[in-house]
Structure formats: C-alpha cells, structure tokens
Structure 1
Amino acid sequence: MAAACGPQDGAGAVAVGQGAGPDFSAVRAELGLPGEFSFASLSEAERVVVDPAFTDVRVDATDLAMVTVDPPGSKDLDQAVLLERRGRRGYRIHYAIADVAAFVPPGGALDVETHRRGQTLYLPDGTVPLHPTLLSEGAASLLPEQTRPAVLWRLDLDGDGVPVRVDVRRAWVRSVAQLDYEGLQRSLALGTPSPAVALLPEVGELRREQAVRRGAIELGLPEQQVNPDGDEGWSLTLRPRLRLEAYNAEISLMTGMCAAEMMCSSGIGVLRTVPDPEPGTIEVLRRSAARLGLDWPSSVGPAEFLAGIDPARPDALALHVAAIRLLRGAGYTSFEDGAPGKTRHAGIGAAYAHVTAPLRRLVDRYGAEVCLAVDAGRDVPEWVSTALPQLPSVMGGSDRVATQVERACIAQAQSWTLTGHIGEEYVATVLRAEGDGGEVFVADPPVIAPCRGDGLEEGRRVRVRLFEADPVRRAVAFEVVAPTPL
C-alpha cells in the first residue's frame, strides 16, 4: 500500500478528533529532520533571485502555451507540458523542467545545504523543503503567467508513442495555466480541456501499453493519506490513483528514459536502478496468486499479469502488496567512463534517470546538466562530474529518511484515529500471513496494521478486533475474531 503525507484532498475522510491540535513534531525530532535554512544559504538564495546565473544561451519558448498539472495547492511546480500532433500519426511533446541550476551556485552555501537535505520531505503539517521557498515556490517554480528559466525537452513520438527524436536545451518558458487532476478530469469529460493537454489521455494510454510491453512492474496500490480534518486534527483517507495521474507520470517517465539513454550512450551520468527480480522471487509470487485463486498463465509475465488485475478486489490487493518484493534493491548508479553493467529499472522496464523534479530532488539538477551537455556536444561541467560519485550515497540516505517519514506519519495518524476504539471489531483483508499472525487492511478507517491469531490467509476477508492503539509508540494491532473467510 502506498503512503502519502502531503496535504492532498481525498474521499472518505475519517475524523481523528484530536481537538488539542496534535502535530508531527515528535516525528521531526525523532528523525532529526532539518529545520530552518542556514543564514548563509538564505542570503545566497536572496542574492541569486535578484541576479541569477543565466549565463548559457537560452531560446525563447514563451510562445508555447504550456500548462502545469499538479495536486491542488501545489506551489513547487517542476514541470510544464504541451502535447501536439506531429504529422498524421505522430506526436510532439514540449516538456519544460524548472532550471534550478540557474539559482544554485556550485560549491556555495545553498549547494552545500541541498546536499545535506537531498530531497523535499512531506509531512502532513508541512514540508521540509530541499530549497528555500523563495526559490522552490517562487523564482524557480513554473508558476502560471510568469516567464521562467527552464530546461526544455522536445520529444517527437511515432504513432505508437515511441520516441524517435529527442533534444533538450535551456529556454525561457511561460505557463499559461496551473491545472489539477480532478479539474482536468472534469474538463476532459465535458470535452473542454486545455489544448495543451487534450492529447494526454491518448498519448498516456499508448505509453501505458508500451510499459507493459517493456515488462514494467507497476503496482496499482491506492494511497493512504493524512490530511487536516478541519477541526485541529487529522484524517486518514484512502485515495485511488486517478488514470490521469498515471498518464501525466508517463510523460515524466519517458523523459527519464530518454535521459538515461543519453547518459549511457555518452558514458557519464547517474541512473535510478532497480534490479530485475530473481526467478525464485517471481515463483513465490506465482504461488501466492494460486493460493488466492488467481489464474496466472505460465506464458504471462508479472508486468502483464499485475496490470490486468484490479487492486480494488481483496485478492488482487493482497497480490499487489506481495508484489512489492519484486522491486527490492532500489538505488542510484553513477558512472563517468562508460555505461555500467547494470542499468535497468525493473519498475519501469528500461534504463531510467531522474531529471524532471529538480525543485524537490537533488539528483535531478545534475542529471539535467549531463543531458544538456550531451545534447550540445560539449563536456559535462566539472562541478557536475565532481559531484557524481557522491550522489548515490546522498540520495540513498535521503530516500531512507523519506520512507521513515512516511511510515512514521501514517503510523501516528493510525494510532490517533483508533485511540478510544479498543475492543471494537472491523472487517479486514489479509495482506500477509505468516506463523500465528500477519498484516491486515481495514478499509474504514483505512488502516494497515499487524494482526495476531490463527487462520489468516492472504486475500481473505476476516473479522478482527482492535486490541492496541498507542499514540506514544505509534502502535496499532488487531487480533482475529472470526478466522474463517467472511
């Protein structure tokens, strides 16, 4: 089950009822999260906003009517997009990415601070940003009706959605609108979408088909979210991923794959890698599918099979959760003297590099610089090549912290939600069973927690009783009441 701690809207909110206004300061303190930016880094940020380093030649692309598509209320806008038809069957995608390198002097105080942070961390009561907000939500953000420096990708696709020509350069861009997913969904249903993204469903569906062909292992798990409940407390919600979000993500993923191809062909860069699962791991998942009564033909690979089952069903949800084991071992690989031996990202089914979220992730700033240099036929800047060897360690550490933050915030909200409900019974789906217990998912409120007792079977629905809800330890636990499937 995916987790999210950002202030996003979702259906089915469950009031936590903490009138005293609890916050997540204990999580921040326990994990030692960064607080305010240093005086030196803030002073430097203020200076570069007034006098940014726009030294490279930059094309004027402000005539492109691009838009951003993000969750409601977002201000750190990394990407703007415009999709057009190209000839009879092809497509052209203009994809602008915030040019963060123009605002961060190499080796300066702000550069040092961003390396210490690694990425933006999202907590329900506020973010721990990678950059000062005067940059990430101001001068560097692709806000609507503002001329901004950007790294502009142009991707020409054939009629099947496969890139046939790619270039990247620095540019001036100007977004004409800030859209959100639900509003875009409504406009598409009414037949009145922004012209910039009218083709997004068409191209997105082609790219989804390509992902299955590549063997991309994608988990369609809904997100647990923690949101303000409007009464000085917090609510837990379960939000399924909108199809439009997947389509929009496909544009970013395609750009990252093109970036990885550039890096590998030039012999320098930094990739996001996930090793392919071992045959034994896939066989274990096949046995899980058989126990769940899911027919998995031997001729069908995990990517195609998982794409064809709806995780809204209890048995399919359990298998999608079990499939997380297929994507273990994520990391970063940097290289300077030729492409590494292992370049593949199993979740994407291809080599992949982060280049599309530089406001929120450190490595993207460096990936973009590599691609700009490769496309222009010049050497990668020394400040980039010098930093490449350290990036896997920096990003790996920040990824671990981000995972800890998500888990701690969800656990905290779950324990707040269920405080005072000890002894109450719920219907649950068994996600994992081992020994004399396992893990279950309760839909209302949306909680995932350990469960003790015999008779648990993955994918089955059982009745459970809450016997622990401790906000201090962030612990929630159930026990089986009815061990047989309901």
Structure 2
Amino acid sequence: MSAQERGRGPIRVPRWPSAATGEPDFAAIRAEFEVPEEFPPDVLAEAETAAREPQLPELDATDLPLVTLDPVGSRDLDQAVHLAAREGGYRVSYAIADVGAFVRLGGPVDREARRRGQTLYSPDRRTPLHPPVLSEDAASLLPDVLRPAVLWTIDLDADGEPVRLELRRARVRSRAQLDYPSVQAQADAGTLPEPLALLPEIGRLLQRRAAERGAVELGTPEQEVVAAPGGGWTLELRGDLAVEGWNAEISLLTGRCAAALMLEAGVGLLRTLPPARPEDVDRLRLLAPALDVAWPPGTAPGQVISGVNPARPAHAAFLEEAATLLRGAAYTPFDGAPPEQPVHSGVAAPYAHVTAPLRRLVDRFGTEVCLALSAGREPEDELRAALPDLPPLMATSDRRTRDVERAAIDATEAWLLRGREGEIFSAVVVDAGNGRGTVALDGLAIRGRCEGAALAPGTRVRVRLEAADVADRSVRFRLAEAS
C-alpha cells in the first residue's frame, strides 16, 4: 500500500524560524567524514573526452515516447519509462542511463567512482559519483536530446508477473522531464500523460504482488534538512507520494528481473537481506497490542506493517520497532554457484541494483553483467574480477552517507533548539527502555534522547529541553509529566 493511500503523502510541519546566528557547518561535517569533494584533473579530463564522443548504439528506440520522473530540479536522470497495455497484460519499457558507454573499466573515472561509491546529498550541495559533465549532462536522460541507454523491455501478465524480458543498448530521446508533485496532481485529476497513464494501475498491482510475497516496506516519514524561506535551515518530515511508491515498483521489478538473469547464469552481484529473526518477529507481535496495531493470526509482518498509519503516535512507534526486521542488508557477489541466501527479504525475492548507475557504483557493474548474459555472452574477465571488490567499497560509502546525513540532521536540530533550554514541549515516545528513550516533538521534525522512568513507546508526554549542543550535535530532553 502506498504512502498516500494510507493517508500520508508529504507531511508538512511548521518551519522553525532561525533562532540564532551561526548556521550548521555542513562543509565541516563532510570534511570530518572524509567525503571526496573535487574531482582530480585526470578524472575531469577523461570525463570531458567521453562526453564529447558518446558511443551511440545502433538500435534506434527514439520512437518510444519515454519520460523521466524524479524530484523537482533533478539533473542526474537515471531512468526514463513508458508503460503500455498489451494482450494479456502490460509492457514496461525502462531506459537506464548507459554509464558504461562513458566510463572505461580501470580508467580514472572508474577509479574515482570506486572511491566515492555513490552520490552524496547534503543540505547545501550534491557530491556526485561522477563528474557533472557526465552525471548531469552527457549521460543523463535529459529531455529532447539523444542519449545512449540500456533499454529493459519487460512484459507482464495480467497478474503483474514477468513473462518476457529483453535487454539491449539503444539510443533514446526522452520526451519530458516530469516531477513527483506534478505527476501526483495529474494522477489525482485523471490527466496523466500517455507514457504514465498506466502507472497507478501497474504500480498498485505490483504492490499487491509484493505484499503477497511478504515484502516489508516501512514507509516511515524521513527527517530532511531544507533551506528556510528567510535564510538558514530548517527540518521537515517527508513521506512518499503515491506516485513515488508506484514508480519505485518499476525499479524493483527491473531489479528482480536482473537478479533472475544473474542467478540463472551463475554470476552477478545481488542486494541481499536475510530473513527477519524469529525472535524479532515474536517481539514485534507481542508489542503490537500495546501500540493498537492489529495482527491477525497467520498474517505476515509485511502485511501488518502495510496497514499501519505513521501519523498515529502508537503506530509510528511500532514502525520504529519494526526496523529491526530489516537489518543486515549486503551486496553479495557470486561466480559459479549461487549464494546460499540470494533473497532480499524486504523485497521478498532475489534482487539486484541496476537502475541508478549515475548515482550508485554497483549499478553500472550489475548492468554490464546483465547486458552480457542477455546477449548470450559470458561477462568479461575484468568485469567478473571487479565484482568481489564492490561490497566493501559500497559498505564504506553507505556508512559515510549515513554518518553525514545523521550529522547534518543532528546539527540542525541542535541549532534550531539552541537557546530554548528549559522550555516544555509536547512529544511522542518512539522507543524506550531502562529509563531512556527517543521522543519526537509534536508538530516539529525534531527527535532527541530523553530520560525518564515512565517513558513508554507510543505514548504522548511533555518533555523539558535540557541541552542543545551545536558543537556536539546533540539535543537532550527529560520527562516533565505525562499528558
């Protein structure tokens, strides 16, 4: 079930006015966590040469009216889509930016991309995986320009199951660059453009199939640092629009097809997640009644989670606890025998990352493996040899990204609350134990550690701000009284 169908959509909270000078220093945070900033000269030179001389495939798919769908203002456009009905089902045409057409294995751009791992988004700037001449121009699927792409053609039956797959390099031309809020408004009004007219129907169908498989999607709103209208920074909570959920299903579908190709051939790189531990499921099931969450006998955790409403405090606390079910994600390379555990339990199927090569390192390698296999060829030795190197590179990149994002949010929280020590706030307890917990302030996208013996998940409380330390990037509350 999509976010909007659960009554969420983007969650707007009041913008807190700047309370003091001295904004959070996001550049210092990036430096602390050693985020690569400028590209070396040899990387820029190779990228500029590749951008001037793109390798355009022979297959001409410019007659396909593809469109891109991304956040407002995006320039690194990885995917363009066209959805159509066919006899007995649907056809998904999904063009992915062909980064492999620009990046030479072992070359300067490839080496720098391995060092970076992924594009990192800070509140004040984007630190790209590839030089902007590629990621925001020559390789990006911008509208009305000829681009090399990897075109996935996936035929689905009436139940949303893949029945045919074709994968080829092709030259494409996107017709339009669309954004989520505008497309959501069109979906609500029943005026979606032809390439996306079937997005609600196919998206909902794939969501139902995922729920039946036992997929788990938490769908909790995320804290986001954004520029305040009057200057400075503030925090917002953001929940996905329905169209974002439907669009994500197209990407997940493609990743499942990629994994199936790899597993059949015995070579590739999967994104895996082990099944939830039985003790974690049992603990969550025992907690559900206290948080007013219905868990009928025989119902899988994913189905229970899909029915909760994050806007309700008790349900938000339940989702916080449910995150324990999704621990242990990894990249799993294999060459020969398939891995013992090939499934991504959040997707409830084998799955591979192949749809965001401009922003994530592994997708380029997974795509090249799939292109070779689809053409009946063995992947090149150099490509195969690189697969075991990618998991540690991505683990380092993922950790750095999480650290930077968390530090930026923590610094902004402390900055917004600075000078308000001693004030009382209404809040919801999202987790607690041993006299400590985490509270989310009502009406504000701010969380903090709280002390108090009476803290219980899902309850509303009043808390006193004890400290807001910008240098330490921390806020601390103490339970004032139950409300």
With normalisation by structure 1, the TM-score equals 0.95
CA distance in 1, matches of 2:11, 2:175: 27
In structure 1, the partner of 2:318 is 319
CA distance in 1, matches of 2:21, 2:475: 21
Opposite residue 14 of structure 1, the aligned amino acid is: R
Residues 79-158 of structure 1 aligned to structure 2 (within 5 Å):
79-87=79-87, 89-158=88-157
SS of equivalent to 1:85: strand
* Within-5 A mapping of 1:365-404: 365-404=364-403
User: Are the equivalent residues in 1 in contact too, given 2:24–2:411 (CA < 8 A)?
Assistant: no
Out of 49, 60, 64, the position equivalent to 1:47 is 49
The match for 2:362 is: 363
My pick for the range that moved more, 12-21 or 64-73, is 12-21
Q: How far apart, CA to CA, are the structure 1 residues paired with 2:442 and 2:379? A: 50
Change (3 A) 1:38 1:10: farther
Q: How far apart, in 2, do the equivalents of 1:277 and 1:97 lie?
A: 32
- 1 CA distance for matches of 2:366 and 2:58? 18
Query: Could you tell me how far 1:50 is from its partner in structure 2?
Result: 1.3
Q: 1:284, CA displacement in angstroms?
A: 0.9
- Partner residue, 1:252: 251
> What residue in structure 2 maps to residue 12 of structure 1?
13
Matched residue type, 1:32: E
**Distance in 1 of aligned mates of 2:121 and 2:14:** 19
Q: Distance in 2 between matches of 1:312 and 1:74?
A: 28
> For 1:71-470, what aligned pairs fall within 5 Å after superposition?
71-87=71-87, 89-470=88-469
Deviations 1:84-133 (Å, cap 9, x if unpaired)? 0012x411010000000111111111111000001011100101110001
- 423-432 or 316-325, larger mean C-alpha shift: 423-432
Query: Would you say the 8 A contact 1:272–1:331 is kept in 2?
Result: yes
Counterpart of 2:160, as a letter, is G
Matched residue SS, 2:284: helix
RMSD: 1.4
* Post-superposition offset of 1:13: 4.6
Partner of 1:61: 61
Once the two structures are TM-superposed, the CA of residue 384 in structure 1 deviates from its matched residue by 1.2
User: 1:21–1:232: 8 Å Cα contact kept in structure 2?
Assistant: no
Q: Count how many residue pairs are aligned between Structure 1 and Structure 2.
A: 473
The structural deviation recorded for 1:299 is 1.0
Q: Offset of 1:313 from its aligned partner?
A: 0.9
Matches of 1:81 and 1:189 in 2, distance apart? Answer: 20
Q: 1:20 to 1:465 in 2, by over 3 A?
A: closer
8 Å CA contact retained: 2:452, 2:479: yes
2:67 and 2:177 in contact (8 A); partners too = yes
Contact 1:20/1:232, CA 8 A, preserved across alignment? no
The answer on whether the counterparts of 2:255 and 2:355 sit within 8 Å (CA) in structure 1 is yes
Whole-angstrom CA distance in 1 between matches of 2:11 and 2:43: 36
Superposed displacement of residue 264, structure 1: 0.5
Shift of 1:53: 4.2
The question of whether the paired residues in 1 share the 8 Å contact of 2:146 and 2:171 is answered with yes
Per-residue CA shift, 1:40-69, capped at 9, x if unaligned?
100110111112345xx5311101111101
Preserved CA contact (<8 Å) 1:60 1:171: yes
Q: Is the 8 A contact 1:273 1:351 kept in 2?
A: yes
Q: Match of 2:229, SS?
A: coil
What's the secondary structure of 1:455's corresponding residue? coil
CA 1:74–1:443 in 2, change beyond 3 Å: closer, same or farther? farther
Structure 1 range deviating more: 360-369 or 9-18: 9-18
**Cα distance in 2 for residues equivalent to 1:30 and 1:451:** 27
- Which residue of structure 2 lines up, in the alignment, with residue 4 of structure 1? none
1:230 Cα offset (Å): 2.9
How far apart, in 2, do the equivalents of 1:235 and 1:281 lie? 35
**Alpha-carbon distance in structure 1 between the residues aligned to 2:350 and 2:224:** 30
Tell whether the 8 Å contact from 2:14 to 2:443 is kept in structure 1 after alignment: no
Q: Percent identity?
A: 49
On the 8 A contact 2:24/2:412 being kept in 1, the answer is no
Letter in 2 for 1:71: P
Aligned partner of 1:321: which letter? E
How far residue 142 of structure 1 moved from its aligned partner, in angstroms, is 0.3
* Amino acid corresponding to residue 41 of structure 2 in structure 1: F
1:33 aligns with 2:35: yes
Question: Counterparts of 1:26 and 1:445 in 2: how far apart (Å)?
Answer: 26
Is residue 34 of structure 2 the alignment partner of residue 70 of structure 1? Answer: no
Alpha-carbon offset, residue 14 of structure 1: 1.7
SS class of match (1:59): coil
Deviation at 1:295, TM superposition (A): 2.7
In structure 1, how many angstroms separate the alpha carbons of the residues matched to 2:14 and 2:141?
Answer: 31
Which structure 1 residue ranges, 5 or more long, are not aligned?
A: 1-8
Query: SS of the residue aligned with 1:219?
Result: coil
Q: In structure 1, what is the Cα distance between the partners aligned to 2:246 and 2:385?
A: 36
Letter of the 2:74 counterpart: S
Give the CA deviation at 1:231.
Answer: 3.0
The one-letter code of the counterpart of 2:43 is S
| Contact 2:292–2:315 (8 Å) recurs in 1 | no
Determine the C-alpha separation between the residues in 2 that align with 1:109 and 1:273.
Answer: 29
- Is the CA contact 1:100–1:365 (under 8 Å) kept in the aligned structure 2? yes
Q: Which runs of 5+ in 2 are unaligned?
A: 1-9
Deviations 1:370-406 (A, max 9, x none): 1111110011122211101101111111111111111
**Displaced runs of 4 or more, over 3 A:** 18-23
> Contact (CA 8 Å) 1:58, 1:169: kept in 2 or not?
no
Following the alignment from structure 2 to structure 1, what is the Cα–Cα distance between the partners of residues 23 and 173?
40
Asked if the contact 2:187/2:200 (under 8 Å) is kept, the reply is no
* Aligned partners of 1:223 and 1:241 also within 8 Å: no
- Describe the SS at the equivalent of 2:169: strand
Change (3 A) 1:58 1:21: farther
Q: Distance in 2 between matches of 1:68 and 1:13?
A: 31
CA distance in 2, matches of 1:371, 1:92: 19
Aligned partners of 2:15 and 2:417: how far apart in 1? Answer: 10
Q: TM-score, normalised by structure 2?
A: 0.96
CA contact (8 A) 2:316 2:458 kept: yes
Counterpart residue type for residue 48 of structure 1: A
Read off the aligned partner of 1:376 and give its amino acid letter: A
Contact 1:84 1:196 in 2 (8 A): yes
